[in-house]
Amino acid sequence: MSSNEQELAEELCAYLRSHVLAKQVSIDPDLPFAQLGIDSMSIIELVMYLERKHGVALPDKALHPENLRTAKSLARCAIQARADAVLPSR
């Protein structure tokens, strides 16, 4: 995992702690959201936070279960979406 990906995954975990879960909960970026009891509405809220805070729009095709499974997978998806926006494929 790149340092940017790690930092973003940690930021997403911090957001979950402050807005969804108890602040004292320790969240590993590799831990599936389902194991944390995070529901689909909270995941949508997390995606909206990510898009708003980082100015990246996740394309609909990127919003499939594997990319929305953990903070790490969502961070990787966002970084890829940002790279694709800068260097679109031909």
Q: Can you give the pLDDT at residue 46?
A: 95
Cβ neighbors of 2 (< 8 A, separation 6 or more) are 79
Task: Kindly state the tokens that stand for 3.
Answer: 């340092």
| pLDDT tens digits, one per residue of 14-72 | 999 998 887 777 889 999 999 999 999 999 999 999 999 999 889 998 899 999 999 99
CATH superfamily to which 3-86 belongs: ACP-like (1.10.1200.10)
Residues composing the chain? 90
pLDDT number for residue 20: 87
Query: Is it the case that residue 89 has pLDDT exceeding 60?
Result: no
How is the chain split into domains, by residue range? 3-86
